[in-house]
Structure 1
Amino acid sequence: MARLVLCEPTELYNILNQVTKLSRLTESNYLCLLDVRSKREYDESHVITAHRVKKKANEYLIPESVDLECVKYCVVYDSNTSSLEGILKHDDDDDDDDDNSYNRGEELMLGAAIKCGRALAHLTRHPIYILKGGYECFSAMYHFFRTQKIIWMPQELDEFQPYPVEIVPGKVYLGNFRQACDPKIQKDLKIKAHVNVSMETGPFFVGDADKLLHIQIEDSLQANIFPFLRHLCHFIEIHLKLGSVILVFSTLGISRSCAAILAYLMHWNEQTLKRSWDYVKKCKNNMRPNRALVAQLSEWETVVLGDFITDVSDPLY
C-alpha cells in the first residue's frame, strides 16, 4: 500500500511546470491531480488539469481514464487540509493496514483529501501526495493556475506554457529566456529583478544596473562563470533583503542559469555542491549544467567550504 506524503504548494507548482521538449503535463502517466471538494466548489474554480473525485456510498470514484498504478505523481486536495497528524497516528498505532480497524471518532478527524488518499492507496506503489493547505492555500499563492476548464485536449496541453520553477519560495525563480520575456509571467510572479546568464538581451530592466545582472557567457564548454559568482551571490542577497522577487534565467534554463542557482545555494546555505544539486534537481527535473560549469562549481565549493567535498567525477554530475 502506498504511503501518504504532505505536498507543499511550491512542490505542486514545480510539478506543474516541469518540461522536456514540451510541458510534462502532456504525459498521460506524469500527474494525476484529484479534487475532492464539492461539485459547486470545483465548478467555481480548480487547479488546472484537476479531476473531480465523486463519492458514492462512502466510495471515492476516480475517472475511468486514470490508471494510478502508472502515474508518477498523484496529488489529492480538498479545501484546506494542512496536516497528516491523524493518518500518521493511525499508521503508527496499527501495522496491519486494516482500514476498518480505527475508530469512527478518529476517522472524523481526517480531512477529505486524507480519506480519499487512504482509499486510493492500494491502487499504486508510489506515494500519494496530500496538498498542504488544500485549494485555499494553493490558489491564494498561484491564482494564475485557477481555472473552470474541465476537459483538456492533447493539443491544449502541448501548447501549455510552463512558468519558471520556484527555488526559494516566493523569492527566487529559475527559468528560460522565453519566460523572462513574457510580461504576464513577470506580473504573475511579481518579478522585480533579473539575473540573465546568456548572450541575449531581454526586454526588462535594460540599463537598470540595480535590477539587472547580465552575465554574458556562451552556452559552451569554454564558458567561464567562476569570476562572476561572488557578484552573483551579492546581487541576489541584496535583492532578497529589499524584498524583491528574482528570476534567474538562461537561453534554455538548463545549464548556465542552473549553475548560477547552484552557486548561490551553496553560498547561501554554506552547503555542498551535492546537496544543492539534489535540491535543484528536485525543483527542475531537466537541469543539466555542462561539464565545464560543474568543474567550476567544484572550485566554488572550495571557496564556500574550504575543500573539495563533492566528487564531480560521479556520473550523476
Structure 2
Amino acid sequence: MAFGRLVEFTSPYLRQLTCCMDVRSKQEYDESHVITARRVKKKANEYLIPESVDLECVKYCVVYDNNTSFLEILKHDDDDDSSDESRQGPVLGAAIQCGKALTHLTRHPIRILKGGYERFSAMYHFFRTQKIIWMPQELDAFQPYPVEIMPGKIYLGNFRQACDPKIQKDLKIKAHVNVSMETGPFFVGDADKLLHIQIEDSLEANLSPFLRHLCHFIEIHLELGSVILVFSTLGISRSCAAVLAYLMHQNEQTLKRSWAYVKKCKNNMRPNQGLVTQLLEWEKIVLGDVVTDILEPLY
C-alpha cells in the first residue's frame, strides 16, 4: 500500500496514465488536497467516479482518505458504550472501500496512499493545494521530483533536478552524490557535502574504485540526519548503479534483491551492462560470493 511514487507522475506523459482520488469530505478537500486530486463523492453508499476519469486508460490509480495505514480490516470496539450499530463487526477505511469499488473498472491494481492525507501532507507540504481546476498549460508546467529510495533520507534523480533550487528546498537536500561529468551549482568545492564521481555514460565507465567511498559518504550523512540526492545526467544508469551499490552494502543483500527494490521506486532505471558487471563484482565483495545470476533477466 503506497502512493506509487507520486513524484514521478507529475511529468506530462505519466500524468496521462495517473489519477489521484480523494475520498474525504468536501470541507476537508476544499481546505487542502494533493495537487490534481479529484474528489470522489458518495451517494447512497455508492462511490461516484468523476466523469472526466476513464479508469480503463489509467495505469496508476491512487486513492486516499484521512489516515488509513493498513489494508487489514478494522474492527469496532465492543465496549459497553458502543451502540448496536458499532458492534456490527468489521469495517473498512474509506480509501479501502472506494478502492474495492473501483477494482472492476480498471485492469491495473488500485493503490492506497499509506497513512492517508495526514501523513502525506505532513511529509510533502509542497504537494498541497486548494486549487481545483487546472489549465492544460499549468499541468504541463509540473516537473517531476526525484524518487525516494529511503523516505526523507535518500533521493534518486537527474541533473536537471539537482540544479533546481525549489527541489533542493522542498526536499531539504543537504548533500549531493553526482555521478556524471557535469558540474552542478550546489556544494561546489565542499567535499563534505558533494561527492562528485566523474565517469562517462558508457560501457567503459569504471565505478568500482569509488564504491567504498560512496557508501561511506552516504553513511556519514545519514548519521548526521542529512538528506542526500544521488543523481546522474538522466538519472537512469550511473546514479541507479550507485544507489544499488549502497543498498547492497548497507543491507548486505544481493544485487537481485536491491535491483527489485529500486525498480519499484523508479521503473525506468537501466544501468548499462558494464555497470551491472561491476555490481556483480561488488556483490562478491559484500557477500563473499556472486549470488545473482545475470542470465536471469533483471529487468
**TM-score of the two chains, using structure 1 as the length reference:** 0.85
Any conservation in 2 of the 1:172–1:247 contact (CA below 8 Å)?
yes
Equivalences, count: 289
Q: What SS class does the counterpart of residue 150 from structure 1 fall into?
A: coil
Distance change (3 Å), C-alpha of 1:161 and 1:233: same
- Which of 247, 252, 259 does residue 277 from structure 1 map onto? 259
Residue in structure 1 matching 2:211, options 225, 229, 238: 229
Separation (CA, whole Å) in 1 of partners of 2:38 and 2:94: 15
| Among candidates 122, 128, 137, match of residue 119 of structure 2 | 137
Residue pair 1:175, 1:253 contacting (<8 A) in 2 also: yes
Report what 1:166 is aligned to.
Answer: 148
5 Å-filtered alignment, 1:202-221, equals 202-221=184-203
Query: In structure 1, what residue type is equivalent to 2:128?
Result: R
Contact 2:259 2:298 in 1 (8 A): no
SS of residue in 2 equivalent to 1:85:
coil
Measured after TM superposition, the shift of residue 150 of structure 1 is: 2.0
Matches within 5 A, 1:265-304: 265-304=247-286
The alignment status of 1:190 with 2:181, answered yes or no, reads no
Instruction: Name the SS of the counterpart of 2:134 in structure 1.
Output: coil
Distance 1:25 1:147, change over 3 A: farther
Deviations along 1:173-219, whole A, 9 cap, x unmatched?
A: 00011111111111111111110101111111111111110101111
Structure 2 residue identity aligned to 1:106: G
Shift of 1:37: 0.9
In 1: Cα distance, 2:87 partner to 2:101 partner:
15
Distance 1:314 1:23, change over 3 A: farther
Find the partner of 2:21 among 34, 41, 47: 34
Q: Say whether the 8 Å CA contact 1:18–1:284 is kept in structure 2.
A: no
Q: Quick one: structure 1 residues 262 and 32, their matched pair in 2 at CA, closer, same or farther if it must change by over 3 Å?
A: same
Cα distance between partner residues in 1 of 2:204 and 2:284: 21
Alignment of 1:83-98 (within 5 A): 83-86=70-73
Q: Name the SS of the counterpart of 2:189 in structure 1.
A: coil
Q: Give, as a single letter, the amino acid of the residue that structure 2 aligns with 1:34.
A: M
Query: Is contact 1:86-1:106 (8 Å) kept?
Result: no
Q: Are 1:105 and 2:96 matched, yes or no?
A: no
SS at match of 1:254: coil
Aligned twin of 1:95:
none
Deviation string for 1:32-57 (max 9, x for gaps)?
A: 21101111211221111211001112
Query: Alignment RMSD, CA only?
Result: 2.0
* 1:94 matched residue in structure 2: none
**Counterparts of 1:227 and 1:174 in 2: how far apart (Å)?**
21
**What's the counterpart of residue 32 of structure 2?**
45
Match of 2:59 in 1: 72
Q: Which moved more, 1:232-241 or 1:36-45?
A: 36-45
State the distance in 1 between where 2:260 and 2:136 align: 32
Tell me the amino acid that sits aligned with residue 286 of structure 1. Answer: N
Q: Which runs of 5+ in 1 are unaligned?
A: 1-5, 90-102
Deviations 1:44-72 (A, max 9, x none): 21111211001112211011222224422
* Greater relative contact order, per chain length (Cα 8 Å cut-off, separation 6+): 1
| Aligned residue among 208, 226, 232 for 1:250 | 232
Show structure 2 runs of 5+ residues with no match.
Answer: 76-85
Q: Deviations over 1:133-155 (max 9, x none)?
A: 21111000111111222233443
Q: Which amino acid aligns with 2:14?
A: L
User: Structure 1 CA distance, aligned partners of 2:7 and 2:163?
Assistant: 20
TM-score, normalised on structure 2? Answer: 0.90
Q: For residues 302 and 316 of structure 1, what CA distance do their matches in structure 2 show?
A: 17
* TM-superposed deviation, 1:81: 1.8
How far residue 104 of structure 1 moved from its aligned partner, in angstroms, is: 7.8
Partner of 2:231, secondary structure, is strand
1:119 and 2:101 equivalent?
yes
Q: SS of 1:55's equivalent? A: strand
CA distance in 2, matches of 1:82, 1:236: 30
Q: In 1, distance between residues paired with 2:295 and 2:44?
A: 57
